Structure 1
Amino acid sequence: MGLISELVLLPFAPVRGGAWAIRQVLREAERIYYDPAAIRAELARLEEQLMAGEITEEEFDRREDELLDRLETAMHSGDTTGNGRGR
């Protein structure tokens, strides 16, 4: 971009910066959500809750299915390393 276009767009800089920050937060949230290590840890916690009697078998099955779907999505995306650190 040239100097003139930068000067014309200068009043919109806070909006552009805000949109960039929102994209970065969303990207990080998705990385954490689909991190295989985090999903496996959630599965372990879920099993502990079942064994402790904190949740029912039906609740366990429902939540386990959700977590396994997330894990499958994460494994097919190839964006994560599975070591808890994402990319």
Structure 2
Amino acid sequence: MGLISEVLMLPLAPARGSVWAIGQVMREAERIYYDPGTIRAELARLEEALEAGEITEEQFDQQEDALLDRLETATRTGAGLGNGTAP
């Protein structure tokens, strides 16, 4: 960009910075959400909740299916984000 366009865009700098920061937070949240270790830990907690009688078998099955779908998505790309997109 030229100097004049930079000066004209200066009032938008806080908004551009906010958009960048939100993008960074979203990428990190997505990385954690699709982390296989996190998903496996959630599966273990889910099994403990079932054994403790805190949830029903039906609730367990529904939540387990959702977690296994997430795990499949996470492992589909290997080192990628896990959501089917490259980093």
Q: What residue is the counterpart of 1:54 in the other structure?
A: 54
Question: Residue 16 of structure 1 aligns with which residue?
Answer: 16
Quote the residue 2:27 is aligned against.
27
Q: CA deviation at 1:76?
A: 0.6
**Larger RCO (CA under 8 A, 6+ residues apart):** 1
% of aligned pairs identical?
A: 72
Q: How far apart, CA to CA, are the structure 2 residues paired with 1:63 and 1:73?
A: 15
Deviation at 1:77, TM superposition (A): 2.4
RMSD: 1.3
CA distance in 2, matches of 1:55, 1:77: 32
Amino acid at match of 2:31: R
Q: Indicate the SS of the match to 1:55.
A: coil
Aligned to 1:77: 77
Q: How many residues align?
A: 81
Structure 2: how far apart are the matches of 1:24 and 1:33?
14
Deviation at 1:42, TM superposition (A): 0.2
Which structure 1 residue ranges, 5 or more long, are not aligned? 81-86
1:17-40 deviations in Å (ceiling 9; x for gaps): 011011111111100100000000
Which AA in structure 1 matches 2:16? R
The code of the aligned residue for 1:57 comes to E
